[in-house]
Structure 1
Amino acid sequence: MSFFLIENTDISAEKITLKGVLEVASDSILLRVSFVAILSQIMTFATVFGFTPVFAQSLGAGEFEMGLLTFFSTFPTAVAGMIGGGFLSSKYGEKKVVIFGFLLVGVFTVIIPYVSSITTLIITQTFAGFGRGFVMPILMALSIKHIEQSRRSTAMGFYQAIYGVGMFIGPILMGLLIDWRGLETGFVFMGVLGFLTAFLSYKLIKLTTPSSYPDQVVKVSN
């Protein structure tokens, strides 16, 4: 299918320079969205790509159940990405969809320690998967929406490098929490972090309009 992809190149795009990278990296909106994305990745890699499978095994999940857990944790993310980035964002606004997504992740992470069957765990992770799907595509769009076209690749590279920090921190933080107070405490902490990130999204994310200026990064006032 990749043979049918068409790449649009801009021959007038400015070359990437250290000065240009620093200018993009200092953009306040990009930094705010990137910080929220770090917290999102901390929760994702601490749970679904970290210790949720460990909890499933403690419930007696076999290989087939583990496969179902992976499927129902990830497939809803793809579905929610299409719905959240399209219909829901146009109807309710990108910011509200992101907040709702974090609330879903928070609720269905907090209740994990109180689940007693693998079937119920799969159901909770299906809803959490929808939450992650509402969050990540929209954050990715918001990180570059206000940046001029010629600098968007630089902004996206910075954004992805920054949220990668969360992928590294998440499993380590979860492991420390588990060593300290047990697996249940780790999930409760990550769920509360979901609620906190929803609040931070409300406070930090500023909606903007796409950049229409070819010669500068648009500065959006708070």
Structure 2
Amino acid sequence: MKAAKKKSYLLLCIVFFFWYAQYVYIPYQTPYLAAINLSTNFIGMVVSAYGISQLLLRLPVGLIANVKEKHKVFIVLGSFLAGFASVIRIIQPDGWGFFIGNIISGIASSTWISFMVLFLGFYPKSKKSYATSLIIMVNNMGVFLAFLSSTLLFESFGMKLICLLSCLSGFIAFILAIRLKYPERIHHQFSFQNLFKVFLDPKLLFFSFLALIQQGIQMSTTMSFTNQILSELGANSAIIGLSSIVYMLSSVLFAKVGASSWITKLSTSSWIILSFLMLALYCVLIPQLSSSYLILLLQIIPGMGTGILFSLLTFEAISDIPSYARSAAMGLFQAIYALGMTVFPIIVGYVSLLYSMTTAYFCLAIVAVLGAIFYCFYCSNRTIKS
């Protein structure tokens, strides 16, 4: 176990630099695009471009990784593309450059399946929940330090330097990934017949749907339009960056809770229901506030959604999946929630253009409440069957 954990540390380093590259420009992407006079509708399309390629590729990547067990190849490729995407943003720093860059970043994120499956392969079944929370925590740490860097540097150096940091971090991850080694045992027997049964697993599909809601809300609020709301309130770049820092710091801390015994203070059901209801409250309050500092405080809520809710949904989705099909199941899980990352920002951009940002966020609040209600029905139905 100790030898496996030691080998897994290199992968955690790669995870850190990979997600740093993917998110260092995110706090200022929406305000930057708005500043060059792009419509909210087009900005929504740019944000959604990140999810489109994931929606199309995550399931095929999961299937290929499952059959060929080529996780290192995908990790190396994903790390390279994470850096290369920002090369495009530097060369063409306009709406279309960011649109193309986000598509490439989405392709890079499609390889996250292999990061997850390979990392879980270092740990026994009894430690899978811990391992899931650990890799998501390091993921969030990379994003947090990315947000901190951009907050400190954007005002003085602008978007080009931020994108340069993204390039460097992605290529560092690429170099480290070349040195990556597999756990002692990762290959499992495989058959398409068994795999088809896994794809119809009700638990996998249900928790993938809940993750679709959580990731969709996160991508269309915290990662994009909440920053635009702050900008419209007159917040400077430091406040906008601080907003993202508060969100990611709380994500790291809540992910740490998920990897500790503190998570048992409440049941899994209580955490999931509470997290969805808190996300709904966040969506109701954010567009109505006139104080940037109150918005900063509320960024803790989506941090809870990322740190605890998403970790629990990920673990619950694949907890009963046999090891031979875990890559493909993770691919399906990530493809389904990528649909939320793709569709939700487009809807928010369109609704805000047609009506108002308040109306768009209120619609997201209803969806979050529905997530809690659906989960309650799932739990009651499971209790009746048992």
State the TM-score, normalized to the length of structure 2: 0.50
Flag the 1:74–1:130 CA change in 2: closer, same or farther, 3 A.
Answer: same
Within 5 A, what are the aligned runs for 1:47-86? 47-86=221-260
CA contact (8 A) 1:34 1:162 kept: yes
- Indicate how the Cα distance of structure 1 residues 111 and 21 shifts in structure 2: closer, same or farther if over 3 A, else same: same
Partner of 2:302: 128
Are 2:218 and 2:302, in contact at CA under 8 Å, matched by a contact in 1? no
Does residue 268 of structure 2 align to residue 94 of structure 1? yes
Q: Give SS of 2:227's match.
A: helix
Letter of the 1:2 partner, please give it.
Answer: L
How far apart, CA to CA, are the structure 1 residues paired with 2:299 and 2:350? 23
Higher helix share: 2
Deviation of the 1:129 alpha carbon: 1.7
Aligned with 1:2 (options 4, 10, 15) = 10
Structure 2 partner of 1:204: 378
Offset from partner CA, 1:85-114 (integer Å, 9 cap, x none): 543542322121111111111112211122
Q: Distance in 1 between matches of 2:370 and 2:285?
A: 16
Question: Greater RCO between the two (CA within 8 Å, min separation 6)?
Answer: 1
Do 1:110 and 1:192's aligned partners in 2 also have CA atoms closer than 8 Å? no
1:141-162 Cα offsets, whole Å, 9 max, x none, are 0011112233222211211111
Report the RMSD for the aligned CA atoms in angstroms: 2.4
Q: Distance in 2 between matches of 1:124 and 1:133?
A: 15
Structure 2 segments unaligned to the other structure (5+ residues): 1-8, 13-118, 123-181
Number of paired residues?
209
Overall identity of the aligned pairs, in %? 24
CA distance in 2, matches of 1:63, 1:113: 19
Provide closer, same or farther for how the CA distance between residues 3 and 141 of structure 1 changes in structure 2, counting only shifts above 3 A. closer
Partner of 1:157: 331
1:105–1:131 Cα contact (<8 Å) kept: yes
Deviation (angstroms), 1:132: 3.2
User: CA shift at 1:198, angstroms?
Assistant: 1.3
Which blocks of at least 5 consecutive residues in structure 1 are unaligned?
Answer: 209-220
Residue 168 of structure 1: which of 342, 356, 361 is its match?
342
Cα drift, residue 14 of structure 1: 1.3
Asked whether the 8 Å contact 1:29–1:206 carries over to 2, the reply is: no
Q: Name the aligned partner's letter for residue 184 of structure 1.
A: T
From 357, 360, 366, the counterpart of 1:192? 366
Go from structure 1 to structure 2 and tell me whether the alpha carbon gap of 1:207 and 1:9 turns closer, same or farther (over 3 Å shift): farther
Against the structure 1 CA distance between its residues 97 and 159, is the aligned structure 2 distance closer, same or farther, given a 3 Å change threshold? same
Q: Distance in 1 between matches of 2:186 and 2:360?
A: 50
Hey, what does 1:112 align to over in structure 2?
286
Alignment match of 2:188 (pick from 13, 16, 40): 13
Distance 1:85 1:105 in 2: 21
Mapped to 2, the partners of 1:3 and 1:187 lie a distance apart of 37
Question: Aligned to 2:188, what secondary structure does the other structure show?
Answer: coil
Relative to the length of structure 1, the TM-score reads: 0.84
The alpha carbon displacement at 1:125 in A equals: 1.3
User: Which residue does 1:216 correspond to in 2?
Assistant: none
| Shift in CA distance, 3/88, structure 1 to aligned 2, threshold 3 Å | closer
Alignment CA distance shift 1:18-1:24 (3 Å): same
1:27-60 alpha-carbon deviations (Å, 9 max, x no partner): 0111111111111111111101121111010111
Structure 2 Cα separation of the partners of residues 207 and 144 of structure 1 = 20
Of the three residues 6, 23, 30, the one matched with 2:204 is: 30
Q: Which moved more, 1:137-146 or 1:85-94?
A: 85-94
Offset of residue 205 of structure 1: 5.2
Residue 314 of structure 2 corresponds to which residue in structure 1? 140
Give the direction of change, closer, same or farther, for the CA distance of 1:33–1:9 in structure 2 (3 Å limit): farther
What is the distance in 1 between the residues matched to 2:379 and 2:251? 22
Q: Are residues 33 and 3 of structure 1, via their aligned partners in 2, closer, same or farther at CA, if it must alter by over 3 Å? A: closer
- Contact 1:72–1:126 (Cα < 8 Å) also in 2: yes
